[in-house]
């Protein structure tokens, strides 16, 4: 990739990591709270359905994961497998789109 | 007289370690040991050195697994259990014994645009550079590199991606990015920000740990990351 693309890619991975640091903490705290509070699946869905705030939060979470994970895999493919260039970039783009699609479908299922 | 067992790499890439017994001396350096072997035990041993006082950077070798200047490394500091193993620098092709081919190492300095690009001639006024300015201080912190290759041999990313420019070349580029007199800042940032450049650094800091001059190529590389991001935002990359 060109220097410009590589630089934006690097920034995207750092920025998405910063978003994930917050999202993961909030997500874990909520999961532990839900389990310890004895909330059922129906209780949880009752709170998330129609909630724009939860849709936005988990939507952002999914977008950050879809950016961060494929870029990390791209680095691992380059350094551990010696797989670089267009093929590796295309594979990572496919992983990114898959994560985005599956994640947004899941967010839609619990918030819409 | 006490003696020390020394294992020294002999041959090319497919060679191996050979054991020698060398008399221990006070204030003995690893270079003294290698020199003793060549002059007294085996004159066919090939190694490289020049100044013997830590100025030239030519005697770096792998000593007990770590890249070091052999001239400034006392045996007493690295062979506490009386075990000494001396090999060629890692990540560079072995020519023979302890001598490596440094061409790729220095070619990468050129690939990182490590040459000063003048913007004025000898007939112009001297450039005025404020000694306390942040850019001049950044140059001061990185400029003392003598190109010994210890950082390059210590770098994991060089092992994983042989095209990676490496800590020394990127450190050199950082000194020029901060040089107010230089006229190739944009081209240089473009040269060091590709997939074999500064963004590939994992910040393991092995280069900083192993630099005999106590420089921090890691900090220089971080500076290049910041500078390239700012250039990208300004549309200059």
Do B133 and B89 share a domain, yes or no? no
Pair A35, A45: CB distance under 8 Å: no
**For chain A, what is the domain count?**
1
Segment A90-98 mean pLDDT: 97
What pTM was estimated for this model as a whole? 0.92
CA dihedral B215, A79, B199, B173 (to 10 degrees): 50
pLDDT at position B81 = 81
Pair (B174, B114) in one structural domain: yes
Do B84 and B107 fall within a single domain?
Answer: no
Pair B207, B113 in one domain: yes
Regarding whether B196 and B158 lie in a shared domain, the answer is yes
Residue where one domain finishes, among candidates B100, B134, B157: B100
Cross-chain CB nearest to B232 (options A4, A79, A84): A4
Please enumerate in sequence order all residues whose Cβ is within 8 A of that of A11, keeping only pairs 6 or more positions apart, or say none.
B229, B232
Q: At what angle do helices B185-192 and B217-233 cross, to 10 degrees?
A: 110
Q: Which domain holds residue A77?
A: 3-111
- pLDDT band of A37, cuts 50, 70, 90: confident
CATH assignment at residue B51: 3.10.20.30
How much is the average pLDDT of B26-54?
Answer: 97
- Quote the minimal CA–CA distance from A92 to chain B in Å: 15
Do B145 and B187 fall into the same domain? yes
User: Phi/psi at A59 (nearest 5 deg)?
Assistant: -65, -45
CATH at residue B145 = 1.10.1060.10
Find the CB nearest B194 among A3, A79, A80.
A3
Q: CA of B149 to nearest chain A CA: how many angstroms apart?
A: 21
A43 shares contact with chain B (CB less than 8 Å) = no
For B105-120, how does the pLDDT look when each residue is reduced to its tens digit (9 = 90+)?
A: 999 999 999 999 999 9
Q: Are residues B84 and B110 in the same domain?
A: no
Among the candidates B71, B100, B129, a domain finishes at: B100
Domains contained in chain B, number:
2
Domain check: are B114 and B21 in the same one? no
Tell me, yes or no, whether B129 and B187 share the same domain.
yes
Write out the E strands in B99-208: 99-100
């Amino acid at each position: 990739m060109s220097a410009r693309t590589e630089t934006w890619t690097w920034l995207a991975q750092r920025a998405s990591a910063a978003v994930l640091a917050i999202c993961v903490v909030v997500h874990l705290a909520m999961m532990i709270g839900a389990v310890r509070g004895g909330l059922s699946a129906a209780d949880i869905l009752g709170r998330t359905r129609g909630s724009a705030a939860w849709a936005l939060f988990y939507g952002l979470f999914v977008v950050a994961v879809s950016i961060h994970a494929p870029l990390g895999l791209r680095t691992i493919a380059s350094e551990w497998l010696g797989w670089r260039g267009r093929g590796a970039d295309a594979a990572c783009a496919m992983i990114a789109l898959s994560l985005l699609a599956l994640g947004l479908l899941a967010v839609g299922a619990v918030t819409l | 007289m006490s003696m020390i067992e020394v294992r020294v790499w002999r041959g090319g890439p497919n060679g191996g370690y050979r054991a020698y017994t060398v008399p221990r001396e006070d204030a003995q350096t690893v270079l003294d040991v290698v020199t003793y072997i060549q002059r007294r035990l085996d004159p066919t041993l090939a190694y490289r050195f020049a100044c013997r006082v830590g100025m030239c950077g030519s005697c770096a070798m792998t000593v007990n697994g770590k890249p070091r200047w052999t001239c400034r490394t006392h045996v007493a500091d690295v062979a506490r259990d009386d075990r000494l193993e001396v090999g060629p620098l890692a990540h560079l092709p072995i020519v023979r014994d302890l001598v490596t081919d440094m061409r790729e190492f220095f070619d990468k300095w050129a690939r990182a645009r490590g040459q000063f690009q003048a913007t004025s001639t000898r007939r112009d006024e001297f450039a005025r550079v404020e000694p306390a300015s942040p850019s001049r201080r950044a140059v001061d912190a990185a400029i003392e590199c003598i190109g010994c290759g210890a950082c390059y041999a210590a770098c994991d990313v060089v092992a994983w991606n042989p095209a990676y420019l490496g800590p020394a070349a990127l450190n050199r580029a950082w000194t020029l990015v901060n040089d107010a007199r230089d006229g190739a800042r944009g081209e240089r940032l473009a040269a060091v920000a590709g997939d074999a450049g500064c963004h590939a650094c994992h910040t393991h800091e092995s280069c900083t740990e192993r630099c005999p001059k106590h420089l921090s190529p890691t900090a220089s590389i971080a500076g290049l990351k910041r500078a390239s991001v700012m250039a990208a935002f300004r549309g200059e990359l």
